[in-house]
């Protein structure tokens, strides 16, 4: 402890406390909750919420409260480990030193660089964790590869929303205004409490998604905000909403168009704002005219009166605000749903007003650096980015940071090009994974991914615990330090619309583990030293901060939380466009109700509703299949105790969610002879999984909801069991490459299924 470290308080008795912000590992979105870590003899003895943190104000979710169980868990990986390629699937790991691990990576990378070239090294990124800020840099600036990959079909998380916002608003992720930029928060005189909050496909109290602190919603409810919730489930917030639009999963675009229909046809929109700042109003109005609440009600299984009521309440109570969530990303029609969601907010003029929706420039300084690293990929290598062999998905190719995940699977499966007339480049040899457990979590059709990734000669992962994907496929695993064991910066919203920067300060010395940033700097110095001049993480973070501020990382540690400056009405002041002119950073300079960008990529300029792929009304399947699989399967809802596939081995958290749950309406359960706690198979023509019945009248009788990302750390890890990876894996039922026209969005929440009782998890 140094004398001027104000974030550290000596309590005497060999005990001290560290004020810090938390991100990851273990997994989490960049919420940056403030914690006070009490340390004795280099051991964390207590973690509690920091009441002085301006956003979280002392509140924590159970995952941080259980941090000590993660830190000192007997199964945690605390040394680098390698295994022979022929031993994949076997628990024959050998502990090695960090030098050996780095030497091994360096020699393999140099070998693959020379034959067949850097493009043969693929990186796979996961979600949420701190590495999200740096994984693109690893791929581009260390490995010199253009193939920055993920396995999530349609990139169906956050990426679609960010792209839609960039195209239509020319501004970074739009967020509910919860006074997060102000030190006195809701009492700041510039702020106004939103009268209504439209919460679309999101359950923030359970998941604090994307860096939004979910309990802010409760703060606002206590101050009088009323809710309109669009969700197929009766969640805690939906139960407290004035209007709950409990739509059929995947029909969001139709509901959104019906809300616009009411707002426009009843003249409830903000004419001044629309005339001055929106492009394509007449065409948009004509487009939504056919989507009356009656028609949408029929298509979406919603009472038209709820649509009328919600539209009127939202449009006539200024200011109101809105939040959008994963449901927009996880449907093939999601671009249209997102397009229309933003249109609702624009029609009402709620953009960048107090108590409305906060906007920011498309990328803050950090967002910029990580994507600019793409320029460090040499032209010869850049020419070998995987692309869709059928020539679709031009939008993804233009906006996506790497190849479309579905295209990546095609290429890996096609590595034998003997049937292709003019084989393109190929020869993929290595993959490097960050914060991802692909076979348990993101991958639609995960068995196909297992087979495809097995073709690669050398797979490396960096993580905290062994998991099914590492056991099945990796040859080297690098152990990561947790967020209280290393230094870092939290950027809510991954640098887009970041209301604060939070310092992650090291509270305890790590075991034989390193942070993602420490590993990145070492690999960078070894492989492309000209791009990696920084000796320490502190130097690196300070250099990053200096691109925008005069102060560095030590200053941020002193401050713990640095709230960013904020101004409302940025579009009037020339603060959203790079040329400094008023307006929005879009081709028309306006919010594009009618897109001038989508047609360039073969997508329609105006929103539309398309029946979800593989739905009960889909024309892509025949009646006999519809009869056999009469239910709609929706998935992806979070549990507060887990982050995707993580935390399953943490006993206090597992007690809160001991088994994977399928939520079934009581009428449906009784029809199938299923009782609470029974094992239930969920099946469709693509596959099946088994979960425990949770019988509640919170879903429509025609819908079931399945938890995602389940595996069993307590079970046999070796193949073929792989910790029971495929037993409760809902992605067994999800198709590959059924993505939207743009490449964005995939049917994770909308496929047909049937359910039936089985005797056990093995049944």
Interface ranges with ligand SF4 (CB under 6 A): 22, 28, 31, 33, 60-61, 63-64, 208
Closest to ligand SF4 by CB, 543 vs 640, is: 640
Q: In what order do the strands lie in the sheet with 458-463?
A: 94-95, 81-82, 476-479, 458-463, 430-434, 121-125, 148-149
Give min distance, CB of 643 to ligand SF4, in A.
7
Write the burial class of residue 399 (CB in 10 Å: 0-12 exposed, 13-18 middle, 19+ buried): buried
For the bound state, the minimum distance from the C-beta of residue 483 to ligand SF4, rounded and expressed in Å, comes to: 8
Query: Is the Cβ of residue 207 or residue 728 nearer to ligand SF4 in the bound state?
Result: 207
Closest to ligand SF4 by CB, 28 vs 352, is 28
Comparing CA positions, the residue from 734, 740, 737 lying closest to residue 405 is 737
Helix (H) or strand (E) holding 634: strand 631-635
C-alpha–C-alpha distance, residues 262 and 343, integer Å: 13
Q: Per the structure block, which two tokens stand in for 333?
A: 């029609």
Which of 742, 754, 652, 710 minimizes the C-alpha distance to 334?
742
Structure tokens at 534: 């920084």
In whole angstroms, the minimum distance from the beta carbon of 477 to ligand SF4 comes to: 23
114 Cβ partners below 8 Å, 6+ apart?
none
- Give dist(CA 722, CA 453) in Å, integer: 15
352-376 burial, b if ≥16 CB within 10 A, otherwise e? bbbbbbbbbbbbbebbebbeebbeb
- Residue 71 CB, shortest distance to ligand SF4, in Å, is 13
Report CA-CA distances (Å) from 24 to 131, 365, 517.
Answer: 8, 21, 12
Q: How far apart are CA 634 and CA 750, in angstroms?
A: 6
Contacting residues for 74 by C-beta, under 8 A, at least 6 apart: none
Specify the residue, 58 or 304, whose C-beta has the smaller distance to ligand SF4.
58
Closer of 33 and 694 to ligand SF4 (Cβ): 33
Distance CA 386, CA 149 (A): 10
Query: What's the rounded Cα separation, in Å, for the pair 410 and 408?
Result: 5
Scan for tokens 């920011």, then name that residue: 360
What is the DSSP code (8-state) at residue 514?
Answer: B
- Decide whether 37 or 287 has the Cβ nearer to ligand SF4: 37
CA 124 to CA 116: how far, in whole Å? 20
d(C-alpha 644, C-alpha 639), whole Å: 9
Q: Which of 229, 274, 159 is nearest to 591 (CA)?
A: 274
C-alpha span between 577 and 583 (Å, rounded): 7
Closest to ligand SF4 by CB, 216 or 328: 216
Closest approach of Cβ 63 to ligand SF4, in Å?
A: 4
The distance of closest approach from Cβ of residue 713 to ligand SF4 in the complex, given in angstroms and rounded to an integer, is: 19
- Cβ distance to ligand SF4 smaller for residue 59 or 226: 59
Q: To the nearest whole angstrom, how small is the minimum distance from the Cβ of residue 56 to ligand SF4?
A: 7
Residue 706: both structure tokens together: 């399945």
Nearer to ligand SF4, 33 or 139 (CB): 33
Q: How far is the CB of 206 from ligand SF4 (least distance, A)?
A: 10
CB of 730 vs ligand SF4, minimal distance in Å = 23
Q: Is the distance from CB of 517 to CB of 529 less than 8 angstroms?
A: no
Nearer to ligand SF4, 49 or 402 (CB): 49
Inter-CA distances, 387 with 408, 609, 611, Å: 8, 27, 27
- Compare residues 73 and 594 and give the one whose CB is closer to ligand SF4: 73
Q: What is the DSSP string of 313-351?
A: HHHTSSS-EEEE-GGGTSSTTHHHHHHHHHHHHHHTT-B
Return the number of the residue (262 or 641) whose C-beta is nearest ligand SF4.
641
Q: Least distance (Å) from ligand SF4 to the CB of residue 561?
A: 13
Tally the C-alpha atoms within 13 A of residue 93's C-alpha that lie toward its C-beta. Answer: 24
Alpha-carbon gap, residue 585 to 363, rounded angstroms: 12
CB nearer ligand SF4, residue 319 or residue 502:
502
Whose Cβ is closer to ligand SF4: residue 28's or residue 410's?
Answer: 28
Nearest distance in Å: CB 46, ligand SF4: 14
Judged by beta carbon, residue 262 or residue 484, the one nearer ligand SF4 is 484
Are 358 and 175 in contact by the 8 Å Cβ rule? The answer is yes
Q: Which is nearer to ligand SF4, 64 or 260 (CB)?
A: 64
- The vertex-360 CA angle with 359 and 363, nearest 5°, equals 145
Q: If DSSP codes are grouped into helix, strand and coil, which group holds residue 722?
A: coil
């Amino acid at each position: 402890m140094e004398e001027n470290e104000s974030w550290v308080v000596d309590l005497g008795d060999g005990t001290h406390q560290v004020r810090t912000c938390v991100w990851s590992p273990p997994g989490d979105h960049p919420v940056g909750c403030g914690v006070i870590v009490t340390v004795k003899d280099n051991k964390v003895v207590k973690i509690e919420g920091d009441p002085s943190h301006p956003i979280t104000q002392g509140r924590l979710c159970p995952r941080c409260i259980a941090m000590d169980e993660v830190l000192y868990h007997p199964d945690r990986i605390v040394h680098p480990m390698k295994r022979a390629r022929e031993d994949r699937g076997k628990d024959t790991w050998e502990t090695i030193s960090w030098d050996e691990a780095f030497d091994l990576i360096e020699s393999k990378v140099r070998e693959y660089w020379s034959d067949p070239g850097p493009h043969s090294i693929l990186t796979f990124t996961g979600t949420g964790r701190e590495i999200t800020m740096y994984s693109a840099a690893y791929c581009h600036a260390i490995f010199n590869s253009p193939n920055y990959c993920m396995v999530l079909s349609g990139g169906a998380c956050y990426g679609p929303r960010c792209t839609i916002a960039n195209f239509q608003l020319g501004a970074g992720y739009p967020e509910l205004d919860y006074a997060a930029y102000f030190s006195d928060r809701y009492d700041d005189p510039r702020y106004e409490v939103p009268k209504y909050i439209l919460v679309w496909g999101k359950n923030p109290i359970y998941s604090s998604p994307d860096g939004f602190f979910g309990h802010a919603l409760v703060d606002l409810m206590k101050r009088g905000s009323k809710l309109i919730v669009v969700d197929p489930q009766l969640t805690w917030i939906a139960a407290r909403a004035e209007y709950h639009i409990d739509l059929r999963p995947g029909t969001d675009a139709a509901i959104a168009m019906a809300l616009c229909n009411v707002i426009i046809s009843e003249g409830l929109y903000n004419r001044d704002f629309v005339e001055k700042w929106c492009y394509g109003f007449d065409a948009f109005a004509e487009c939504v005219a056919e989507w009356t609440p009656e028609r949408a009600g029929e298509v979406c299984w919603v009472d038209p009166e709820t649509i009328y009521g919600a539209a009127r309440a939202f449009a006539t109570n200024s200011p109101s605000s809105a939040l959008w969530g994963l449901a927009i990303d996880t449907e093939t029609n999601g671009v249209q749903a997102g397009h229309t969601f933003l249109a609702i907010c624009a029609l009402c003029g709620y953009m960048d007003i107090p108590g409305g929706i906060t906007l920011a420039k498309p990328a803050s300084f950090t967002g910029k650096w990580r994507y600019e690293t793409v320029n460090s990929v040499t032209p010869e290598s850049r020419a070998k980015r995987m692309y869709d062999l059928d020539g679709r998905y031009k939008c993804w190719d233009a906006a996506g940071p790497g190849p479309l995940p579905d295209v990546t699977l095609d290429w890996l499966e096609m590595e034998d090009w003997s049937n292709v007339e003019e084989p393109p480049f190929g020869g993929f040899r290595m993959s490097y994974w960050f914060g991802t457990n692909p076979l348990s979590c993101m991958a639609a059709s995960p068995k196909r991914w297992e087979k495809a990734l097995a073709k690669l000669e050398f797979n490396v992962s960096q993580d905290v615990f062994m998991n099914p994907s590492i056991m099945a496929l990796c040859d080297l695993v690098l152990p990561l330090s947790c967020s209280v064991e290393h230094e870092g910066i939290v950027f809510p919203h991954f640098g887009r619309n970041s209301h604060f920067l939070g310092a992650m300060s090291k509270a305890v010395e790590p075991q034989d583990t390193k942070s993602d940033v420490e590993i990145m700097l070492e690999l960078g110095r070894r492989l492309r030293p000209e791009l990696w001049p920084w000796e320490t993480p502190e130097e690196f973070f300070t250099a990053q901060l200096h691109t925008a501020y005069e102060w560095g990382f030590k200053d941020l540690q002193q401050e713990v939380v640095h709230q960013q400056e904020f101004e409302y009405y940025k579009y009037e002041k020339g603060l959203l466009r790079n040329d400094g002119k008023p307006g929005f950073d879009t081709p028309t300079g306006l919010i594009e109700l009618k897109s001038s960008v989508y047609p360039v990529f073969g997508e329609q300029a105006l929103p539309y509703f398309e029946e979800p792929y593989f739905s009960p009304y889909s024309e892509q399947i025949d009646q006999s299949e519809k009869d056999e699989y009469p239910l709609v399967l929706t998935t992806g809802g979070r549990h507060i105790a887990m982050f995707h596939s993580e935390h399953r081995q943490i006993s206090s958290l597992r007690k809160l969610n001991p088994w994977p749950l399928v939520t079934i309406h009581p009428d449906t359960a009784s029809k199938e002879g299923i009782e609470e706690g029974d094992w239930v198979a969920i099946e469709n023509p693509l596959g099946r999984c088994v979960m425990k019945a949770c019988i509640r009248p919170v879903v429509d009788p025609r819908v079931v909801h399945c938890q995602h990302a389940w595996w069993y750390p307590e079970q046999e890890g070796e193949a073929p069991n792989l910790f029971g990876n495929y037993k409760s894996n809902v992605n067994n039922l999800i198709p590959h490459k059924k993505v939207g026209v743009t490449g964005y969005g995939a049917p994770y929440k909308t496929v047909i299924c049937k359910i039936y009782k089985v005797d056990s998890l093995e049944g």
